[in-house]
Amino acid sequence: MQTATASPRTGAEGVEVLLFDVFGTVVDWHGSIAREMAHDHPQVDGAAFARAWRAGYQPAMARVRSGELGWTRIDDLHRMILDGILPQFGLAHLDEAARAGLNRVWHRLDPWPDAVDGIRRLKGRALCCTLSNGNLGLLTRMAKRAGLPWDCILSAEVFRAYKPDPATYLGAAGVFDVPPERVMLVAAHHDDLAAARACGLRTAYVERPFEFGRDAPKDVAARPENDLHARDLLDLADQLGCPAAV
């Protein structure tokens, strides 16, 4: 039997669509990559490898935003970064098949423990959709493997613009034919949330203190500019008055 739930926080009144950042917010990219490296390449510092790979993410997208590169999917940007860091970790000998297989680790990222149940509960409150820089094939394979119960998968690929380009946030609102103020971005990254707010979206920050590993915790202190601040997606569901899973 379902129990009564609290009324949603004022900061989310009128919200019809919840858009989710994915890497770091919904899935544990660092832990997933470090675990795979420990299994397949135990001689490598998997934690450092994961962080080095991720460190190339923003600079690679900046090359697309600047026009230095034409539109390039994240799968292909990940591969460019991977090829660049392999020699640093003594893996320059990996052949094409091994490199392609390793690059697909981004399709195999594990969800945070609260993610699947959290999204399932939040779907009772609003449409739940990705808004990630990851490409559609990557996000779809990830969701299928991890059991992420999205209502819809949207990607920067749809709008051919990487966050924080306004085209992504406003484009997602347009897909659902709702004004930006009826859309809330859920993310563990303040820069993403700030860009969404600049477009008129509401924002919810989710704490992921160990996104970069337990040996590199990040500051997850609340900031007043966000409408909501949650420990995880289950806490966010509680704040939005979503029924508990049965």
Q: Which ranges constitute the DSSP H helices of the chain?
A: 29-40, 46-55, 57-65, 74-85, 96-103, 115-122, 136-146, 156-159, 166-175, 190-198, 233-239
Q: What is the mean pLDDT of residues 179-192?
A: 98
Q: What is the mean pLDDT of residues 43-65?
A: 97
2 compared with 212, residue with greater pLDDT: 212
> pLDDT, tens digit, for every residue of 194-245?
999 999 999 999 999 999 999 999 999 999 999 999 999 999 999 999 988 6
Phi/psi for 11 (5° steps) reads: -65, -10
Q: What is the mean pLDDT of residues 146-153?
A: 98
Per-residue pLDDT for 4 more than 90?
Answer: no
Provide the pLDDT confidence category of residue 192 given band limits of 50, 70 and 90: very high
Q: What dihedral angle (degrees, nearest 10) is formed by the CA atoms of 207, 211, 214, 216?
A: -100
Per-residue pLDDT for 79 more than 80?
Answer: yes
pLDDT of residue 12: 84
Contact 201, 173 (CB under 8 A): yes
Instruction: Please state which of the four CATH numbers 2.40.30.10, 3.90.1150.110, 3.40.630.30, 3.40.50.1000 is assigned to the domain occupying 10-28+109-239.
Output: 3.40.50.1000
Q: What is the mean pLDDT of residues 166-182?
A: 98
Classified by CATH at the fold level, domain 30-107 comes out as DNA polymerase; domain 1 (1.10.150)
Per-residue pLDDT for 3 more than 50?
Answer: no
Domain boundaries, the chain: 10-28+109-239, 30-107
DSSP state of 180: G
Q: What is the rounded distance in angstroms from the CA atom of residue 102 to the CA atom of residue 64?
A: 23
Q: What is the rounded distance in angstroms from the CA atom of residue 25 to the CA atom of residue 211?
A: 8
Q: What is the rounded distance in angstroms from the CA atom of residue 188 to the CA atom of residue 24?
A: 7
pTM of the model as a whole? 0.94
Burial class for 17, CB neighbours closer than 10 Å (0-12, 13-18, 19+): buried
245 compared with 108, residue with greater pLDDT: 108
| Crossing angle of helices 57-65 and 46-55, rounded to 10° | 10
Per-residue pLDDT for 98 more than 70?
Answer: yes
